[in-house]
Amino acid sequence: MNCSIARALDVLGESWTLLILRDVLSGLRRYDQLEASLGIATNVLAARLKRLTELGLLERRAYRERPRRYEYVATERARDLAPVLIGLLQWGDKHLAGAAGPPRTLVHNGCGRPATTELVCVECREPIAQHGGRLIGPLRAKAV
């Protein structure tokens, strides 16, 4: 299908994939850390890490020789997904958190205040608001 969303979902559509990337982008790098954080079966984790490495989202690096142990480092390709993951987090916080509220809060390391994502024009920095299922503002999808 000639659609960037469809192609992205082909790579990222499996739920463990996004959760592994969330944890790696949050600073977890070692297999045992990921396993403990996710509560994932070892065969599933090993398969997902292998696939993410093959896709160029993670880089596998040795951090110990005897016995040989590896860590998984996010590549630029994975780091470019941070706004997507933050958007999913914020949507879940807003619409699915329930009475207990969200389990995490994003804060800016510099000042400690809450952080958010915002869609803006790259040229003039004008915010592009979403309303009623349509994007409002100077935005449209343009076929190439």
**Tens digits of residue pLDDT in 75-110:** 999 999 999 998 888 888 888 988 888 887 888 889
Tally the domains of the chain: 2
Distance from C-alpha of 7 to C-alpha of 67, rounded to nearest angstrom:
38
Same domain as 91, residue 75:
no
Domain boundaries, position 58: 4-79
Same domain as 61, residue 43:
yes
Same domain as 71, residue 102:
no
Q: Which two tokens stand for residue 116?
A: 């958010």
Domain closes at, from 79, 103, 126 = 79
Instruction: Indicate whether 97 belongs to any domain.
Output: yes
Q: What does residue 59 show for φ and ψ, rounded to 5 degrees?
A: -115, 130
CATH number for 25 = 1.10.10.10
CB 29 within 8 A of CB 59: no
Same domain as 67, residue 14:
yes
For 105-126, how does the pLDDT look when each residue is reduced to its tens digit (9 = 90+)? Answer: 888 889 988 888 888 888 888 8
Average pLDDT for the chain: 87
Instruction: Indicate whether 93 belongs to any domain.
Output: yes
Same domain as 26, residue 57:
yes
Instruction: Indicate whether 125 belongs to any domain.
Output: yes
Same domain as 50, residue 88:
no
Instruction: Indicate whether 141 belongs to any domain.
Output: no
Same domain as 100, residue 38:
no
pLDDT > 90? residue 45: yes
DSSP summary character for residue 92:
H
Amino acid at 91: W
Q: What is the mean pLDDT of residues 28-55?
A: 96
Instruction: Indicate whether 72 belongs to any domain.
Output: yes
Same domain as 59, residue 70:
yes
